[in-house]
Each structure stands twice: as C-alpha cells, then as structure tokens.
Structure 1
Amino acid sequence: MALKVFNFLCSNGHLFEGWLKSDLDWKAESAAGRLACPVCGGAVVEKRPSAPSVARATGTTRTDVAEDVERRRERELGALQREAYAALKKAVRDAEDVGRNFKEEARALADGRTSRPGGIRGLCTEEDAEELRSEGIPVFNVPDELLKDGN
C-alpha cells in the first residue's frame, strides 16, 4: 500500500510529518483524535503545503541536444540562403538589360539623367566597373546562372 507524506502544524507551532493513505484519511484520523503532535501531544492540527517527492528519471537524458540545435540552425540558414538567392534572382531578372551601354547608363542613372525603377544590368569590363566604383557608383558582378530558368 502506498502512503503519502503530509506536513502538519499543531496549535503550538510544531511542524511534523504524517504518512497516510489519502487526503481524506488525514481528516478522518484528525476527527477521530488519532492524529496528534509528536512533540506536545496537541490534537488540533492543520495540514500544511508539502513538496512532492518525485523520483529522478534515469535513462532518459538526451545527449544529442546540441546536434538538434545545430541541425535546426542549418535548416534555418539554408532557408534564409534560398530566400536571398530568390530575391537576388528576381532583382537581376527585373533589371533592364542595357547590354554594352552599361557604363554610360550607370552614370546617367547615378546623376539623375535617367530613371529606371527596376535598376539596370549589362556588360562592362572590370576596368570600367572599377572606374564606376571610384566615382561612387555601386557595381557588382552577377553570375550568368541567375538569368537562367530552373535555378
């Protein structure tokens, strides 16, 4: 038979434990005068809050939590990379292709002589790109695969 541990306080302020079958059992024992303080013998007692006794679980400790966290981070990073790639691909495809006139069109766009809401893309040499950058015009290389379907 399983017993529960209850904490009690007598009218004289003494704390003690009682081991009984149930919550109802202590009330019956107290009413019958069989529950008394072991220090002073006082029969007027009240039940006090008790902390439950919980046995420690064994054999269930996870050792792979760090691996789970790392896998979750990798999935989240992969999702962010896919989103960034899709946004870059859309921006490149939406940009107006100005072909070999890129250098002149980039300057015209930078100084406000022309307006292209979606931006521009085109061809230029690395020297032309450096020249534009030195003038404060942002230029970057875009991989050709961003223009291909299926990526």
Structure 2
Amino acid sequence: MKVLDLQCAHQHRFEGWFGSEDDFQSQLGRGLVECPMCGDTHISKMLSAPRLNLGAVQPAVADAPAAPTEPSRVPATATAAPADPDMQAAWMKMVRHVIANTEDVGSQFAEEARKIHYGERKERNIRGEATAEETEALLDEGIDVLPLPIPAALKRPLQ
C-alpha cells in the first residue's frame, strides 16, 4: 500500500492511499483522484518521507537542525475552501454541520427559498443548487442565502 501526500491546484493538501505507483498514475490519468475539499482533479504529488517500520530499532540522532514541523504557507487564492490545514478542518466541520441540519432540495433551491420567504411553505433550513444569477436574484429580493461549495465527497455516502 502506498500512502501519498497530494495537493490540488488550489493548494489543498490531503492524503491518498493506492495499491502501487502504477495504480496512482492510472487513477490520476482517468481523472479519478480528486481533492476532497473542492473536487479539483488537477492533483500533484508532494514530497514525502517514507514510513519505515523497523520494529524496536531506535532512530539515529542527527546533528542537523530539525525540519520545520509546519508546511510552508502559500498565499491564499480564490478557492472553494481555505488552504490552511486548520482552516480546512474548521471549514469541513461547518460544511458537515450544514449537511446534517438542512434538507437538500437540489436544483429547486431558488424556487423553494422563495416559497419559504413568502410564507407559501413551512420555514425550515434548506440547501441545494442555484446558479450565480439565481443567487443574485434571491439576494436582490431580500432573501438571505449563502453560497457554500460542498465537496463532492460529502454529497455521497462513504464506502
């Protein structure tokens, strides 16, 4: 089993497990490897140290200075989710909370939000899909909505 440190084009770092290097390259070539934060399929392999299980052997002590414990920080860009690992964890926690406490109305989001706003439907927390134009129209009508990109991995059950 190969455990690889991966990163998408938006600087989100994550770990991937593959049967072999060939398995990773095959899945990458078919577009099957995607960022769990934003769904990006432009993935690159990061440098990582192999994990060697040497039993009870004690590691050698080196005189060299210790490697930095935190990854180098990359300037933030316009992404679907934060690149900072602590911010990613907080963002994912928030997304999971939204999913657990809302009803998915799918592509009927704009229509359903209007019906709730105008009292035609019972008030409840909903989520769904809306175009940028639909979202802007809802905001212009005074209907509070928050665009929240939800990673594809959270939209389906895990194996």
TM-score band (shorter)? 0.3 to 0.5
* TM-score, normalising length: structure 2: 0.38
By relative contact order (CA 8 Å, sep 6+), the higher-ranking structure is 2
Higher helix share goes to which structure?
1
Q: Radius of gyration: which is bigger? A: 1
